[in-house]
Chains A and B, each alone.
Chain A
Amino acid sequence: MSSKNIIEIEGLHKSYSNHKALDNINLSIGESKIFGLLGPNGAGKTTLIRIINQILEPDQGVIKFAGELLSRKHIHSIGYLPEERGLYKKMKVGEQVLYLAQLKGLSKKDAKHKLSYWFEKLGAETWWNKKVEDLSKGMAQKIQFITTVLHEPKVLILDEPLSGLDPVNSLLIKNEILELKKNNTSIILSTHDMNSVEEICEEVAIINHSKKILQGSINEIKKNYEEKLWTILYSGNQMNFTNAVWGGWELMNHIVLNENINKAEIKLLNDFTINKFIKGIVDHVEILEINKKTPSINDVFIKATTDE
């Protein structure tokens, strides 16, 4: 077992009375990495998160936390931000954050000290005596984020941490996540926001129909889903372009940008290479730009979950 993994999951099964929630899940989550846990609604992500949080027990399988079997003593090493806004609406912000910090094992004094740091950092100093119901959604989310990270957990599980945030606050939280990672926190990010996955995650796993269907680094996964697609911007006649090379490729899309400029999207078949294709067309049209098209995580997600 690699010592670089903070969480190792082997052969995890969980069933509810009427359906299987997790079916033989194997996952390893690297230390100080941002790990994207992806999957359609109802795929089993929440069950997996609950098992890591020890809210639920698995029917079968093993979870190791920093090389040890996961147990109650690891509770304080995990911070969890649930998807919905998990705060008491009628309670004052200050009382609430102190309460949640103490539940996570911090002393009142420590908690106060750390809270003043975080409140200042996220610009929440004046909110201490406000009731949660008087905060805006973004403000409440910041408070919730603070309660999650305050006890400096080794592993952070964030369920849709950016949903409903305006671009400024979204960027703020994203930067905090990146900074936490820099300080050796491992982060599990469960989200449907593929742009942020692409921006901040290093590794992802996709769960679909209670099974893990793929896992790997973002680049690896994209490479696996690459379909040898290229976009070519050229000047010249479309007929000349399409008839220049016979066989070995397919025209996926063609757009006339203006009277003489065209954009073509081609897919290379089998062993046909881009060099051969360029050689074929170079005498017929003028190549202005040529780019390899890599799939986005969104493309990968859709392909992976619909191909199942």
Chain B
Amino acid sequence: MSKIGLIISREYLTRVKKKTFILMSFLGPLLIFGFVLLTSYLSQENKEKYEILVVDESHLFDSILRNSDKYHLQWAPNGKDYNEVQEIFKKDDQLDLLVYLPVNLIKTNSMTAKCLYKEIPSTGVQKHLSSIINEAIELYRVNFNNIDISTYKSIKTKINLDVVDIENKENRNIQRKAFVGIALALFIYGFIFLYSVQVMRGVIEEKTNRIVEVIISSVSSFELMMAKIIGVGLVGITQFIIWAIVTMIMSITIFPLLIIDKFDPSLQMNSEELVNNSFKIDPNNEAIQFIINEVQWSYLIVFFILFFLGGYLLYSGLMAAIGAAVDEEADTQQFLLPLTIPMVFAILMASKVIDDPSSSLAFWLSEIPFTSPIIMIVRIAMGIGDSSVEIWEIILSLFLLTITFIGTTWLSGRIYRKGILSYGKKASYSDLFKWLKN
């Protein structure tokens, strides 16, 4: 094995053999799943049953407001006004919610129903209440106008708007797809930092224990730096591949079992909004259908790896230079800040890019190499074509990223070469420029 190969394999093997790496390989996907489950669980109504006191001033709702075991409605005693009922509601611990239906609600379109709570109800509960009230009003009006209920049902429609790109029919529902892009962008951001910081730490370790002097008497300092960057980068790719495989296995096996009825409350809400229950979708299946069928995983993964690598190479070279310039990790702060700002800025700008993926802001952020790995993956996730990003933009972005990382790596190499042999003095920016010039 060549010496550079030897260094790459040491950098790689010492990291992948670590217990923390093995643990993270399996814990990572579990944590992500756990997080998804937790957020969907938290946004669920967690009560089994709601006791709801209804004040119906018009007395028109009692026969038509849909009652159920879960959302159990009970009517406020006759002769009590709204204020008195509020007192009853307050005193009775069994009651969860108080729904106030003003006298004119059913006759006009402008009134608002009220829901008073002791503990704030989830959005799911709120949606349910507004949907049963709407449903009751509709039923009242159907009867009032002597319309046959089956006729009404046949008239009432619920359409979904499918937003499709005329040039490329595959490009549909791109905003929804952007969330996959955001997730991948966060991964790229996390991976770039995680692994480029590892490069920096490795450099600091070699510098402080002076083994670097032994190694660079065998290979050049630039070769050592590149071998370290490549070795650690391979660790990142390995981790990603393991995560992808573990996630895939978990998606197919454990995930559907765990989340039945719980996943994606928004889809449940959609179903709640339907007037009757005749058309009920299994929310799980649709979510999984979306993830499996609509998201273009094959090219997303390829571009993810390319942009991760590009971003990683760009940042890790600079991180190696920082590692070489300091004697201990505590001194790195002043140099790290300028590197983190563009990445954090890119993450913050991602939502604007989703709003208008073909805007000039989106274009420039996805071309400038310091932000492109994050923004471009969001645009790619939204679909390649006129609607989001054109293939030439991706090629240009990758080209610029490559040119820039070659440039920064060359500059970093110059700082690294001087830095690793300089001890005891806290390097300043002016030192870095001096090292660059010499």
Spell out A's residues near B (CB within 8 Å).
17, 50, 53-56, 75, 78, 80, 82-91, 95, 99-100, 102-105, 147
Does residue B395 face the partner (Cβ distance < 8 Å to A)? no
Binding-face segment, B99-107, B171-179, B213-221: B213-221
Q: Are B210 and A100 in contact (CB under 8 A)?
A: no
Which residues does chain B contribute within 8 Å of A95, judged by CB atoms? 14
Find the residue from B10, B210, B213 having the highest chain A CB count within 10 A: B213
Cα(A105)–Cα(B215), bound, Å: 12
Contact B209 A103 (CB under 8 A): no
Across the interface, A86 reaches (CB within 8 A) one of B14, B209, B218, B221, namely: B209
Contact A103 B211 (CB under 8 A): no
Please give me the residue from chain B that is nearest to A102 by CB atom. Answer: B6
| A55-B213 contact, Cβ under 8 Å, with A103-B218, A104-B218 | yes
Q: Which of B71-111 contact A (CB under 8 A)?
A: none
Contact B6 A86 (CB under 8 A): no
Docked-complex contact B421 and A86, CB < 8 angstroms:
no
Given A17-B438, A103-B3, A84:B216 Cβ within 8 A: no
* 5 sampled A-B residue pairs with Cβ under 8 A: A50-B213, A55-B216, A56-B421, A102-B3, A103-B214
Q: Is the CB of B213 within 8 A of A89?
A: no
- Within the complex, what minimum Cβ distance (angstroms) separates A198 from chain B? 27
User: When the two chains form the complex, which single residue of A87, A99, A103 contacts B219, counting CB atoms closer than 8 Å?
Assistant: A103
Q: How far is the CA of A86 from the CA of B434 in the complex (A)?
A: 28
Q: Which 7 A-B pairs have the closest CB atoms?
A: A86-B211, A84-B210, A53-B217, A82-B210, A103-B218, A86-B210, A82-B213
Distance between Cα atoms of A78 and B214 in the complex (Å)? 10
Once bound together, how far apart are the Cα atoms of A103 and B9, in whole Å?
A: 12
Cβ A99 vs Cβ B6 within 8 A: yes
Residues of B within 8 A of A78 (CB): 217
Contact A100/B434 with A86-B209, A88-B205, A89-B209 known, Cβ cut-off 8 Å: no
Please tell me if B166 contacts chain A, counting CB pairs below 8 Å.
Answer: no
B161 contacts partner chain A, Cβ-Cβ < 8 Å: no
- Contact (Cβ within 8 A) B217 A80: yes
Given A17-B434, A75-B217, the answer on whether A99 and B209 have CB atoms closer than 8 Å is: no
**CA separation between A80 and B212, bound complex, in Å?**
11
A19 CB, nearest partner CB in chain B, Å: 13
Pick from A50, A80, A99: contact of B421, CB below 8 A. Answer: A50
Interface on chain A toward B: helix, strand, loop, or mixed SS? loop
A contact residues around B216 at 8 Å (CB): 55
Asked if B218 and A85 sit within 8 Å, CB to CB, the answer is no
- Would you call B1 an interface residue if the criterion is a C-beta within 8 Å of the partner chain's C-beta atoms? yes
- B214 partner residues in chain A, CB cutoff 8 A: 80, 82, 86, 100, 103, 147
- The residue in chain B whose Cβ has the minimal distance to the Cβ of A147 is B214
In the complex, A83→B214 CA distance in Å? 11
- Given A86-B211, A103-B6; 12 other pairs, CB 8 A cutoff: A55-B421, A75-B217, A78-B217, A80-B217, A82-B210, A82-B211, A82-B214, A85-B210, A86-B210, A102-B3, A103-B215, A104-B218
- Given known pairs A75-B218, A88-B205, the reply for A102 and B1 (CB within 8 Å) is yes
Q: Mark B197-238, 1 if CB is under 8 A from A, else 0.
A: 000000001101111011111110100000000000000000
B-side interface mostly: helix
Complex Cα distance, B436 from A17, in Å, reads: 12
B210 CB contacts on chain A under 8 angstroms:
82-86
Complex CA distance for A13 and B190, rounded to whole angstroms:
47
Whether A85 and B217, one on each chain, are in contact in the complex, defined by CB atoms closer than 8 angstroms, is no
| A55 surroundings in chain B (CB, below 8 A) | 213, 216-217, 221, 421
Indicate if the CB atoms of A86 and B213 lie closer than 8 Å: yes
CA distance A173 to B206 in the complex (A): 25
Q: From residue B196, how far is it (CB to closest CB) to chain A in Å?
A: 19
Smallest Cβ-Cβ distance to B438: which chain A residue: A17
**Which B residues are CB-close (under 8 A) to A53?**
213, 217
Contact A54 B211 (CB under 8 A): no
One digit per residue, 1 when the CB lies within 8 angstroms of any chain A CB and 0 when it does not, for chain B 1-33 equals: 101001100100010000000000000000000
User: Which residues on the A side are within 8 Å of B221 (C-beta)?
Assistant: 55
Q: State which residues 398-438 of B face A: CB under 8 Å.
A: 421, 434, 438
Q: Hey, which chain B residues are within 8 Å of A50, CB to CB?
A: 213, 421
Q: Which of A80, A99, A102 is within 8 Å of B213, CB to CB?
A: A80
Residue numbers in B under 8 Å from A90 (CB-CB): 14
Tell whether, in the assembled complex, residue A91 and residue B14 are in contact, meaning their CB atoms are under 8 Å apart.
yes
In the bound complex, residues from chain A placing their C-beta under 8 Å from that of B438 are: 17
A285 CA to B288 CA, complexed, in Å: 112
**A-chain residues with CB within 8 Å of residue B3 when the two chains form the complex:** 102-103
The answer to whether A87 and B211 have CB atoms under 8 Å apart is: yes
Complex: chain A residue closest to B9, CB-CB = A99
B211 surroundings in chain A (CB, below 8 A): 82, 86-88
Shortest CB distance A300–B (Å): 28
Question: Are B209 and A85 touching (Cβ within 8 A)?
Answer: yes
Across-interface contacts of A75 in B (CB, < 8 A): 217-218
In the complex, chain A residues whose CB is within 8 Å of the CB of B209: 84-89
Question: What separation, in Å, do the CA atoms of A165 and B1 have in the docked complex?
Answer: 36
Chain B residues with Cβ under 8 A from A82's Cβ? 210-211, 213-214
CB contact between A99 and one of B10, B205, B217, B434 (< 8 Å): that residue: B10
Residue of A50, A54, A75, A86 with most chain B CB atoms under a 10 A cut-off: A86
Chain B residues with CB below 8 A from A83, complex form:
210
Give A301 to B434 CA distance when docked, in angstroms. 35
